[in-house]
Amino acid sequence: MEYTQQADAPLNSSDTGNKRGLLIIGLLIAMLFAALDGTIVGTAMPTIIREMGGLELMAWLTTAYMLTSTTIVPIAGKLADLLGRKMVYVLGIIIFIIGSALCGLAGNIEQLIIFRAIQGLGGGIMMPMAMIIIGDLFTGKQRAKWQGVFAAVFGLSSVLGPQVGGWIVDAWNWRWVFYINLPVGVVAAVLIAISLSGKKTEGPVKFDWAGIFTMVIGVVSLLLALSLGGSEFDWLSWQIIGMFVLSAIALTLFVRIEATTEEPILPVKLFKDKTFTMINGIGFFMSLGMFGAIMFVPLFMQWIVGISASESGTVMMPMMVSMMIFSVFGGQIVYKIGVRPQLAIGMIIVAISFFLLTTLDASTAKLTASCFMIVLGIGIGLVMPLLTLVLQETFPKSQLGVVTSSSTFFRQIGGTFGMTLLGAVMNMQSSSQLKERLMPLLGQLPEEAKQFADQTSATVASNPQAIYSTLLDPTILAQFPKELTDKMVPVVQATLIDSLHTVFWVGLVFILIGTALTLFLKNVKIMQQPKKMNETEASEPQMHLI
């Protein structure tokens, strides 16, 4: 199928400043709310389930959004190169607005899951587009600065999401978690629509339908297997094995198609470039390990240290603040110290933070844990903006959409792998330790406690994390005899500490692999001034303000 894009009129130079300002405001608004929607819904989930029911489907409210938003990223990047930034970005915002409106109108949990998937399509288009357009607008030092600013906005959304979601649910109702996107999305769409031109070149555009189809099947099957394995289905069940096999077949076909098609979604030849491979590898392994801290530190603080959920949020907030600050700071200093040194320093700092996390114990103060998270945020802030910036400085404008979206895609895939693998490590270690330490105690319980002992033994084998949520919850513990809890709680706490330490050590290994990849990266020089285009680049399609 071919699509012909008409050229737009160029912008008079006197209007450039005002249009650029409006565009950046629109990009910031769209980025904030697209990223915010990934975390804001979590706070509203208990209220949604109380009203609609469907507790067994609750996880799909997150999974549906993740599946579609992750899968669409590389497709959106390629379409942005083919059709122009304006058409693709505004379409993404419109889909996001429609999905948000439908979520607010949902009459049952099944409808809400479907509408969350639609919303994820829009969010997945929007997420990389802001970075792509910043790559179009700026080069050199200015590009580094603005990539840092947008990375900071992404971090800000992680801080604000749960608080904003809780406030909206308390002040109005959960449907406004979605309705609030409507006016904001319209404002962002209008600002972007009036500030961006369409594609500058004319001519037929060929869509890689076979590549799109095989990539969607492969990625969705892989993400479903990772999301459902160990929870809905056993890892060795035919369902999970079947999804992994389907994913492997589809992705193999995808690679073959991309090697021969005229306009590939993700050109295979890009992986022959060491910079492309190393940068995306660093992003993948950093995200893979990083989720160990984001997922398990609050759990540690609540179940071991004994603070509330809201207090554990305050422990995490310093990480987000330091990440925002050093995202902007890193974008300022990279042109002085160089890409490879800054990436190496950032990854080493992340590694140090993971080592510090392995020292957490029952006596750890909130301030100490917050300091550890600050160190983690500094490292992430130095690394995150460069993962996009380096690719944009290395590849020509004709490939800007593809390489920018690839950075987002591999980080999101890494995060999904991280949540799955580290969760599996947690369960395996917990099950082993609980069998070794807790089962002997259960065998010593009197006859009247036999039912409790049998239920606990079964839970150790099937869902060891449920033991922690039961035996470390003060409300539930109050229902048991003190003699019983005095014996069991120290054992369960010690087991959880050891299990989480294992998780952090495994996360540290992933971070060290990412750190090692920086050694194989050539040092990309970020110019202070915009570089001059050669004849090839000058002839490529450019993004213009109008």
- In this predicted model, what pLDDT tens digit does every residue of 198-250 receive, in sequence order? 655 455 667 788 888 998 899 889 888 887 877 678 888 999 999 999 999 99
d(CA 279, CA 215): 21
* pLDDT above 70 coverage of the chain, percent: 81
Residue at token pair 């969760």: 423
Distance, CA of 23 to chain centre: 25
Q: Is the pLDDT of residue 535 over 70?
A: no
Which CATH number is correct for 274-527, 1.20.1250.20, 3.40.50.300, 3.90.1150.10, 3.30.1280.10? 1.20.1250.20
Model confidence pLDDT, tens digit, residues 245-264? 999 999 999 999 988 888 88
CATH architecture, domain 10-206: Up-down Bundle (1.20)
pTM, 2 dp: 0.78
On whether the CB atoms of residues 370 and 353 are closer than 8 A, the answer is no
* Mean pLDDT comparison of 37-41, 88-92, 126-130, 394-398, highest-scoring range: 88-92
Average pLDDT over residues 411-419: 82
Give the Cβ contact number of residue 123 at 10 Å: 30
Q: Which of 348, 380, 344, 264 is nearest to 519 (CA)?
A: 344
Average pLDDT over residues 482-495: 76
Decide whether 10-206 matches 274-527 in CATH topology: yes
DSSP string for 20-52: HHHHHHHHHHHHHHHHHHHHHHHHHHHHHHHHH
More confident residue, 71 or 474: 71
**For position 528, what pLDDT does the model report?**
54
**For position 1, what pLDDT does the model report?**
38
Longest Cα–Cα distance of the chain, Å, equals: 87
Model confidence pLDDT, tens digit, residues 431-450? 788 777 777 777 776 666 66
Distances (CA, A) of 453 to 163, 439, 443, 458, 492: 39, 9, 7, 9, 14
Q: Locate the domains of the chain by residue range.
A: 10-206, 208-262, 274-527
Average pLDDT over residues 521-528: 70
Q: Is the pLDDT of residue 505 over 50?
A: yes
| Tokens read off for 223 | 């993400």
More confident residue, 434 or 89: 89
Q: Is the pLDDT of residue 344 over 90?
A: yes
Give the Cβ contact number of residue 510 at 10 Å: 25
Average pLDDT over residues 478-495: 74
Per-residue confidence at 39, pLDDT binned at 50, 70, 90? low
Residues recorded for the chain = 546
Instruction: Supply φ then ψ for residue 529, to 5 degrees.
Output: -110, 155
Q: Is the pLDDT of residue 12 over 70?
A: no
**For position 536, what pLDDT does the model report?**
40
Containing 1, the helix (H) or strand (E) segment is none
- Per DSSP bridges, beta strands 204-206 and 2-4 are antiparallel
Q: Is the pLDDT of residue 95 over 60?
A: yes
**For position 149, what pLDDT does the model report?**
80
Q: Is the pLDDT of residue 475 over 70?
A: no
Q: Which of 185-189, 292-296, 397-401 has the lowest mean pLDDT?
A: 292-296
**For position 473, what pLDDT does the model report?**
66
Q: Is the pLDDT of residue 267 over 70?
A: yes
Q: Is the pLDDT of residue 531 over 50?
A: no
Q: Which of 295-299, 326-330, 475-479 has the lowest mean pLDDT?
A: 475-479
Average pLDDT over residues 94-98: 93
Mean per-residue pLDDT of the chain: 79
Alpha helix locations (H) across 202-237? Answer: 209-228
Q: Which of 55-59, 193-197, 205-209 has the lowest mean pLDDT?
A: 55-59
**For position 295, what pLDDT does the model report?**
75
More confident residue, 540 or 467: 467
Model confidence pLDDT, tens digit, residues 158-179? 667 766 777 787 778 888 888 8
Residues in CB range of 366: below 8 A, 6 or more apart = 301, 305, 307, 311, 314, 315
